[in-house]
Amino acid sequence: MPDTNISIALIQLSCSEDRDANISKTIKHIKDAAQNGAQIILLQELFNTIYFCQTVDEENFNLAQSIPGPLTDQLCELAKELEIVIVAPFFERRAAGIYHNSLVVIDADGTLMGTYRKKHIPDDPGFHEKFYFTPGDDEYRVFDTKYVKIGPLICWDQWYPEAARITALKGAELLVYPTAIGTLPDEDESMGQEFLEAWQVMQRSHAIANGCFVAAVNRTGQENNINFWGHSFVAGPFGQMLVEAGREEEILIKEIDLSNIETQRQEWPFFRDRRIDTYKPILKRFID
Amino acid sequence: MPDTNISIALIQLSCSEDRDANISKTIKHIKDAAQNGAQIILLQELFNTIYFCQTVDEENFNLAQSIPGPLTDQLCELAKELEIVIVAPFFERRAAGIYHNSLVVIDADGTLMGTYRKKHIPDDPGFHEKFYFTPGDDEYRVFDTKYVKIGPLICWDQWYPEAARITALKGAELLVYPTAIGTLPDEDESMGQEFLEAWQVMQRSHAIANGCFVAAVNRTGQENNINFWGHSFVAGPFGQMLVEAGREEEILIKEIDLSNIETQRQEWPFFRDRRIDTYKPILKRFID
């Protein structure tokens, strides 16, 4: 029998204005996690910068990196050295005037497997993403890494069952959601609790509907007006909360058994009964 | 300002082999609920019979009712008398050899507005529904009743985000899920708890993704091998648990404010950002 257990690490950190310091801190924690057996490293959204979308400022386009580029070179080398898979989300400069909220998936041999570009772009008070990020025009993707088939999505994508479904239908065993979510000063503790619960319920539902694992990695700390709430977690294929961080910096390491996916889908055979003949209206904006 | 508050009642009962007794008991509780201000009455799946799908037996086809028929006549009269909307799910005989797991929606003036026929049909140990129920070939439907736009779905439909999404895009303010779900003797308490939580998380996610209310009505009691777990509930448009029953017979009455739907969708504008240009693969069974 092949070993179906894999160990994943969720790196939940705060960020400063100093990009190099953010990268160094993250790499230190990646090395620690690998030392502790982690095979898959999941970083938070825009991992090497503050969440700069609180302001609308053209200067911030200078924070974007090319893919490939020095940052991915550095991470590929690290992945190869430690024989780990890394999912690294950061601000991508694709071309003059085309910037994305992206991530790269790097295999355990150091290969840059490819990018995923955030499809659903929010724009709300404190979260001015539509100014910075061109919506991804690539497909939903699954990366068949050394240890697990990873279906990466990014933050706002997490509210859309369609994105999770398509990624799961492509064979994802582990959906990952790097995130930057928190509360504004006028949102009190009870609202914060309600938001956090909705955020977790929504992503756990993707695990349930699709019978796969879900890992969400949020940042933490106060940045200007936003208090990022952390609470990164891993859910099992029936939405079970397997492990959950608190509000502070924390590295979650969790071993998961991929054979649970097939068992789950046999016991609760949702894929078998999908009525694909009835779903076409989902392609509409609204049905008046 | 129009009053946007409405009062809904979820009738969570146990059933016996005596159909007339089941109907009488239900009607008694409908009258009580109306007396207590309920305007919308939601009944459980197959409300007038035991959950007969535990066995595979042609005799059970005799339990099916025509629509319209004596049962709907009786309920329409009751709806008119009490000025209430009734959502009544039962086994439908549509034609020789075509039987559905259906529901009718009756408006507060006694009009039979139409039927919805369960689209997603399970088939598992103890739940032999594919033997009895032809999958619904009608559309997902929304009924613009006197008090609220109701989007009815039935039980197994609840595990499919596609069904909730399409019904919400058609304007549903309240998704309703009549249900018959419980545990088998070989499923222990911790499994039962996990199942219950998944069942609630999944349906709360439909409220969140679509910014609408969700009401799920389950039966209760032991019938042969199945212990139906009750726990009917109403969720708000961000998935908040507004009210929840226990495992025993219980009538939940809850006032909800429909204006919360628009507020919710302004604050968390998921509909605005749907990437309908990317969802076509959802029409596939699997993407090899």
Instruction: Give the model confidence (pLDDT) of A179-204 as tens digits.
Output: 999 999 999 999 999 999 999 999 99
Of B161, B170, B280, the CB nearest to A287: B170
Residues of B in contact with A274 (CB under 8 A): 120, 160, 162, 285
Q: What is the ipTM of this complex?
A: 0.98
Instruction: Give the model confidence (pLDDT) of B14-57 as tens digits.
Output: 999 999 999 999 999 999 999 999 999 999 999 999 999 999 99
Residue B2 pLDDT exceeds 90 = no
What pLDDT is attached to residue A272?
A: 98
CB neighbour list of residue A222: distance below 8 Å, 6 or more residues apart: A228
Of A209, A273, A283, the CB nearest to B280: A283
Contact between chains at A208 and B201 (C-beta distance less than 8 A): yes
Domain boundaries along the sequence of chain B: 5-283
Instruction: Give the model confidence (pLDDT) of B105-124 as tens digits.
Output: 999 999 999 999 999 999 99
> How close, in Å, is residue A195 to chain B by CA atoms?
8
What is the reported pTM?
A: 0.98
Q: What rounded mean pLDDT belongs to chain B?
A: 97
Residues of A in contact with B162 (CB under 8 A): 161, 165, 274-275, 278-279, 282
A contact test, residue of B205, B242, B262 with most A CBs within 10 A: B205
> How close, in Å, is residue A209 to chain B by CA atoms?
6
Residues of B in contact with A209 (CB under 8 A): 159-161, 202
> How close, in Å, is residue A255 to chain B by CA atoms?
20
Confidence band for A1, pLDDT divided at 50, 70 and 90: low
Write down the architecture of domain B5-283 according to CATH. Answer: 4-Layer Sandwich (3.60)
Closest-CA residue of chain A to B159: A209
Of A139, A238, A286, the CB nearest to B194: A238
